[in-house]
Amino acid sequence: MRRIRLLVPGNIHHHSGGNAYNAKLVRGMTQLGADVEVVPVDGAWPEPSAKDRRRFGGLIGAWGPEAEQEPAVDIVDGLVAVGVPDELEYAAKAGRQAGCWHT
């Protein structure tokens, strides 16, 4: 089974409904046997700077194939995804598997 990376906004440090949902999602996937890594993504989400978008694009392999032999499947929190539509499109064109959701 491929590793799953759950990319969540790094600027949310309070107990929010989205954080509670993300924690529940990780528990559920783990109970099903998935290897889940939660990756806080630094940036001014939902309105990232150009630097935030470049960093995110590099993180998900938007600028080319990643060095890993078997890349993770990325699931991107909607608060992050709304600010990086071009980077998500480039990653998809580069063959990366990613999805997003709103919490």
Q: At what angle do helices 85-93 and 50-59 cross, to 10 degrees?
A: 30
Cα separation, 99 vs 78, whole angstroms: 9
The predicted model scores a pTM of: 0.81
Task: Reply yes or no on whether the pLDDT at 85 is more than 80.
Answer: yes
> What confidence tens digit (pLDDT) does each residue in 3-33 have?
899 999 987 767 788 888 999 999 999 999 9
Q: Phi and psi (nearest 5°) for 69?
A: -65, -50
Q: Where are the domains of the chain?
A: 1-12+36-61+71-103
pLDDT, mean over the chain = 84
